[in-house]
Amino acid sequence: MKLRRLLIVSLCITVVGFGSLLAFAGREKKNSADFRNQFVKDFKRTGLNTTVGDAMMLRILVESARCKRGVEVGSATGFGAVNMGIAFERTGGHLYTLEIDPKMVKACRENLEKVGLEKTVTCIEGDALKTLPGLKGQFDFVFIDAVKRDYMKYFKLIEPKLKPGAVIVGDNVIRSERAMKDFLDYIQTSPDYDTVIIRASMEKNDGMSISYKIK
């Protein structure tokens, strides 16, 4: 009887240990560069997602500026968030990505979990005009890619929380220039920012504004 109990206990320990080993292996796979690169390559993007070139530009900006706390306005299914999340993981930082569509939020969270970035990137559901004021602390990176006519509204909500040296990126600033004219006029003429309009990808025949907060 004692021998049977001992065998059962030993078997249970073996099963639990094997399960833990599999879970660890799964986490290691999610965190591997090869797995993530393939995931990004195979990502089924929609018209709402950031282009491949622009997403890599965002990743490089976060890494090169060693950003620690970022905000993305407009998650879609999380292609940009995954790319920026990789960078924030490398800098030891955190990204908050905001999305109003519940289906997009679900997809974004699932994609982040698939590559092991759920602890580095937090996807917040709701209208960014309502969720932005609730973000606490200071930020050193902002990417705006949501309702074009509301860019200035988004920016004014986050601006008081920006640290000197913060990087601010606005997407679709060439094709949607008229819709966000107030934002572009402000960011390009304010003495507090250096701004340039660039094309990181020709896929959408569009571009991004990249600004640096001087003080």
Check residue 29 and give its pLDDT. 73
Domain residue ranges of the chain, discontinuous segments joined by +: 2-31, 47-213
Topology classification of domain 47-213: Rossmann fold (3.40.50)
Q: How confident is the model at residue 8 (pLDDT cuts 50, 70, 90)?
A: low
DSSP string, 87-113: HHHHHT-EEEEEES-HHHHHHHHHHHH
More confident residue, 46 or 74: 74
For residue range 124-180, what is the model confidence (pLDDT) as tens digits? 999 999 999 999 999 999 999 999 999 999 999 999 999 999 999 999 999 999 999
